[in-house]
């Protein structure tokens, strides 16, 4: 099946971010749109934080029917959308926007997308587990909230800026009271306590994107059965996952989360479930081609 020809009625979807050139979302979303016979196209648009408000004003009555958001827009969109889903309100971040009758409807599929990847690929159930979550931005918000709702007993949020970690831990802890939230800086002594005894460690920052940046961890206090997950999907083996694999830890890359959150976005926009297998196949091929 091929996509319908471009016409004045063709719907447009996009991923907005800065940077965004690396995004695989257009590859697998267009594969899904084609498989579903949907008259639409999906593109990547580089958008700075300063440009976003004016852009949103101009698309309310256009062929752009929805978009995904990545760094640095997820938290800003909470105030820029007209309506928010319950999940987006509780998480405090938006990664999916649909446009209906000129109104911006914000949602969040990041957390559920991460959980689906966690269950499907790693066969990991967070219920009763200790989690160390690196980062305090939009992705960390969604993942932390979703892990807590899935029954994680303890979540330590570790961030270079300790006050931001504390603020997020307090906020999420007030929303999911059954999970014990705490915060840590990246100072070695604090990070050691955060990592010690963790069943799951998640990098929810952009460190490692393009193979750049190293996360220094106190590996000696991290139990060997622990699962090391990285939401960065390019390269497939980030510096963190490469080191974890070398040390014989179980690992989980970010491509599964990317595809699953995208599939949920597709469903929000079109009202139909996409062919997730075709989305994953397209994403895998594109990533292999990039990696040579």
Annotated catalytic residues are 74
Task: Starting at the earlier edge strand, list the strands of the sheet with 154-158.
Answer: 180-184, 154-158, 130-134, 200-203, 227-230, 250-252
CB 20 within 8 A of CB 45: yes
* 3-state secondary structure at position 191: helix
- As beta bridge partners, residue 193 has none
**Which residues, in sequence order, are CB contacts of 20 under 8 Å at separation 6+?**
44, 45, 46, 47, 70
**Which residues, in sequence order, are CB contacts of 12 under 8 Å at separation 6+?**
40, 41, 42, 43, 62, 63, 64, 65
What's the CA gap between 289 and 292, in Å, rounded?
A: 5
CB 145 within 8 A of CB 139: no
Tokens, residue 108: 């969040």
Q: What is the DSSP letter of 253?
A: -
Q: Which of 277, 280, 288, 159 lies closest to 234, judged by CA? A: 288
Q: What is the DSSP letter of 18?
A: S
* 3-state secondary structure at position 267: helix
């Amino acid at each position: 099946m091929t996509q319908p020809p471009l016409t004045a009625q063709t719907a447009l979807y996009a991923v907005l971010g800065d940077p965004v050139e690396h995004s695989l979302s257009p590859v697998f979303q267009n594969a899904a749109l084609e498989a579903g016979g949907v008259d639409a196209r999906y593109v990547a648009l580089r958008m700075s934080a300063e440009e976003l408000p004016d852009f949103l004003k101009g698309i309310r009555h256009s062929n752009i029917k929805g978009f995904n958001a990545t760094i640095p827009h997820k938290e800003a969109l909470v105030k820029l959308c007209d309506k928010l889903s319950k999940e987006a309100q509780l998480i405090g971040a938006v990664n999916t926007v649909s446009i209906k009758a000129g109104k911006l409807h914000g949602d969040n599929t990041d957390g559920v997308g991460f959980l689906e990847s966690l269950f499907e690929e790693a066969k990991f159930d967070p219920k009763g587990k200790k989690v160390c979550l690196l980062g305090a931005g939009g992705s960390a918000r969604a993942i932390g909230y979703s892990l807590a709702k899935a029954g994680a007993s303890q979540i330590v949020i570790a961030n270079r800026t300790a006050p931001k970690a504390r603020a997020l831990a307090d906020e999420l802890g007030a929303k999911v009271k059954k999970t014990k939230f705490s915060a840590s800086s990246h100072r070695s002594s604090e990070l050691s306590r955060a990592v010690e005894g963790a069943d799951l460690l998640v990098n929810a920052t952009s460190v490692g994107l393009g193979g750049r940046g190293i996360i220094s961890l106190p590996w000696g206090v991290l139990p060997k059965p622990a699962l090391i997950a990285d939401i960065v999907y390019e390269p497939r083996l980030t510096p963190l996952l490469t080191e974890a694999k070398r040390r014989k830890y179980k690992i989980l890359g970010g491509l599964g989360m990317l595809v699953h959150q995208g599939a949920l976005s597709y469903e929000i926009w079109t009202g139909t479930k996409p062919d997730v297998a075709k989305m994953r196949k397209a994403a895998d091929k594109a990533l292999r081609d990039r990696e040579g």
